[in-house]
Amino acid sequence: MKLIEMTNGEATIHVEPGSKGHEKAIGNGFEAKSPKAKPAAEPKTGEPKAFAEMSVAELKAVAAEFNVDLGEATKKADIVAVLEAKADEALGKTA
């Protein structure tokens, strides 16, 4: 049995690819750690990081910081959509 390492930015777990535990981990914001992945470059001071560039864990942290209810959103694209809609609402933008 081969295990992969997954993290959500706060915790690290090991799961079997394709298992129910793997699917549950993804649903809870865990992403596979790549041993060859380079650390993401930190944005320059004053340059906010775009939602699309953030990990699921970072997106959830932003939502928590600004008290944004993500509802049923668990996938990155869905979380980004909720946060972008809330940002537009806060800035008075309409679709």
User: How far is 24 from 44, CA to CA, in rounded Å?
Assistant: 35
Nearest Cα neighbor of 27 from 80, 76, 83, 81 is 76
Least confident of 48-52, 54-58, 91-95: 91-95
pTM: 0.50
Least confident of 14-23, 48-57, 58-67: 14-23
DSSP 8-state secondary structure symbol assigned to residue 19: S
Average pLDDT of the chain is: 79
Residues 6+ apart with CB under 8 A from 13: 5, 6, 7, 25, 30
